[in-house]
Structure 1
């Protein structure tokens, strides 16, 4: 080994201590630096970057905070819709999640099943294409699973009379529900972007980042302390109530069961928020009245789930819509009306599909079936995608 190297090594390290480099004398010490040509290229790149940043201006995210002018909100707020206060709660839910959503999910689910069969080269012999009505019923059961939680998904179809749910059994088989869950899809996989290149949109600034407002907080023992908080935190905490209100409502309105895949977790989140928002919209609409004194968010969710399921059953061929007269007609759109059909009372068709027994003399003049005035008439036509007055 070269003696000079040993000498340099002895001078650079202190005995019994951490590594200690003597930088006072640069001779014999090699720095990993750029060449002169590399320095020119680096300087040119920095100039180009500075030019690009100046062109972007305020649209660039950075740690340099500056005042932002936020326009005052001057629009009307509160419930904004054209529904009648007497409309069924499902109509309010449709404002958040239109029926077309379920048709789209059915389309993408069938498409994903076909793509899976193509990629494996072996079609699933147990798969039968689904449709919008079945997907609605599937999500109706999914909402009910959040209300009536069991430790295992198969327990809803248990033969044990204390555990099994007859409504689930009547709607669809356990195998069919599992099959729908396996191929459930809301988007076309063939159109998604390449991994690592997400298409995102930067949110605009919604609050001024500068300025601190005092906030008084209590410490243990009763002492008060004054904290400084930026405007975004102040605005967020105005309706915070100690815990995020969205989290408060969601904790009382769970939908479905936990998922490992994030997109399915997000799907549950959308359903939870849609139910909560439609409940609050209905509750704050002037003129609405609770069906019962203690009508809660869970009761609202139960009504939504029952409307989604309707009288659907994949176990048997669906009954004809009208055994007492002609089949449901989609012609004469403007003539569907809730009128008196006779003097003798008959069972309401919609109530019967919900497992209830009510008799009425009113019904639809075009469908020629008996339906209670108001909600039953509306829900029957909504479920069968028929126009009504």
Structure 2
């Protein structure tokens, strides 16, 4: 089953990503990270250097893929808190490309971000430049999610043939599991054993299997959102406007409970309103990403809709692992891609998929 509604609204497309596009891409993917996907700073530096050394990376649509193209997702997996200190090595990229082609039995011609959010939205650009590959203008989430099964290809019923993981030590593991839930269990266990961070490839796609199964146009969208943030005198309002979103609260962090367990960053953050929002309190529940926003016992927004904590002055996203007591922030929310509002999408990534016994109420533009 495929879902034509996956296609993103028409946007100003980018046909090649250059080094000068990376700051905007990083700013945009940090917003789309919804708190997760990893901090973008190190990935931004690596991607800029790769593009400077190897040149621009072609950015192609699903319709531009040929019959001989093989697209594969390359991304980091693990706890973002660990990823700040344990960086990927270039040998991991080369190993994954070599092992992935051997398992697939054909050349890989393009990379795609498993999730456009956070460092996993920036990394594939630099990795593709190093490998001499093109990048598909799309991803498997339209945001970031913490679980390998939470991808649009799984919603569409496209099977994942294999995955390959490698760590900084040089260990390589090839997985062929019965479904994505088993892949998540096995990949997470291997990642924890490797220090809670790995680099991996999975979900080989062709032109026919990618069509209707990926969230299209998200690389271009991230660059556009990033440019709005970086160029506007009021970046908070500019980003909210680009996403047709809303600022739920402007305030400061007064309590933070964050821990790394089971390969995830888990916890909650409490914010007290300032200025016009003085006297209000909100709590956000976290599992790598921001999952639920509560105020006065009421759910304001929940997964699969998007919530990002941003700096109240600069508009830059603050990832889960970078949250600190006393930060002045704003809580930004916007609607998810329509695929996640289907019955299968909510089964995989709605509140109950994360253990919250809550009904899903769709977030709609500036209001719920």
| Same fold by TM-score greater than 0.5 | no
| Higher CA-based Rg | 1
TM-score by length of 2: 0.22
Higher RCO (Cα < 8 Å, 6 or more apart): 2
Higher helix share: 1
Higher strand share: 2
TM-score by length of 1: 0.21
